[in-house]
């Protein structure tokens, strides 16, 4: 006797309406749902990687690595924070691991020798710099950030762009909270210096996508 095919066998999965549905479907192995998550978050992840690394090729590689890692770890997402926050934390940790493997010093030697510990004279380096977040052209600011020394750029991106607190940054970079604050202060001073002569800033490949 000929068996009739299941009427639903040839039907495609219903379209993924939003992020929450995509997350649950992707956890259950739906490749279209994972593609939806990739489409929703790829630009932000790439932007974060490029800002932290300052190198287009490395940023592209780390973006792919972040989504491979997401594919493996998605089942551990419990919704205790926003998915974007969770994904960005995952990406930051991957980039930091990548930099450590390269042997890059994430905290400046000067700050290691002269740390700004909690018992040192108090200096408030944690408040937002209105000069840098005001009327500066966004592309120019991105070029200036890309020109910062790696340690300064890392702390500036994590604090002023991604919104991490200094205690979180200190844990990520394995330094003191005072050290993170001091690095941010020096990064802002360096940015002000760079922005005085924006015409001298080097162009940054991939910056158009970041600035959209």
Each of the 212 residues of the chain gets a pLDDT tens digit; together they read 444 444 333 334 444 458 899 999 999 999 999 999 999 999 999 999 998 888 889 999 999 999 999 999 999 998 888 899 899 889 999 999 998 887 766 655 444 434 444 433 334 444 455 455 554 577 788 888 888 888 889 999 999 988 889 999 888 888 889 989 999 999 999 999 888 887 777 776 655 555 55
Query: Domain 109-202: which CATH class?
Result: mainly alpha
Report d(CA 23, CA 77) in Å as an integer.
Answer: 9
Q: Could you tell me the residue ranges of all domains in the chain?
A: 19-101, 109-202
pTM: 0.71
User: What's the sign of the alpha-carbon dihedral 137, 203, 89, 106?
Assistant: negative
Query: Domain 19-101: which CATH class?
Result: mainly alpha
Given this model, what pLDDT does residue 138 score?
Answer: 77
């Amino acid at each position: 006797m000929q068996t009739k095919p299941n009427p639903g066998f040839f039907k495609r999965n219903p379209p993924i309406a939003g992020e929450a549905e995509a997350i649950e479907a992707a956890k259950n192995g739906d490749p279209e749902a994972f593609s939806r998550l990739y489409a929703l978050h790829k630009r932000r992840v790439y932007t974060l990687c490029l800002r932290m690394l300052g190198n287009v090729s490395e940023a592209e590689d780390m973006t792919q690595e972040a989504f491979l890692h997401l594919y493996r770890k998605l089942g551990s997402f419990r919704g205790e924070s926003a998915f974007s926050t969770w994904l960005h934390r995952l990406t930051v940790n991957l980039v930091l691991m990548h930099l450590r493997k390269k042997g890059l010093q994430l905290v400046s030697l000067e700050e290691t020798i002269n740390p700004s510990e909690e018992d040192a004279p108090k200096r408030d380096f944690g408040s937002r710099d209105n000069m840098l977040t005001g009327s500066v052209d966004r592309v120019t600011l991105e070029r200036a950030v890309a020109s910062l020394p790696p340690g300064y750029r890392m702390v500036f991106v994590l604090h002023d762009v991604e919104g991490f607190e200094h205690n979180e940054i200190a844990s990520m970079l394995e330094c003191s909270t005072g050290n993170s604050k001091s690095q941010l202060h020096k990064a802002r001073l360096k940015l002000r210096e760079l922005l005085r002569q924006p015409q001298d800033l080097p162009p940054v490949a991939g910056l158009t996508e970041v600035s959209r």
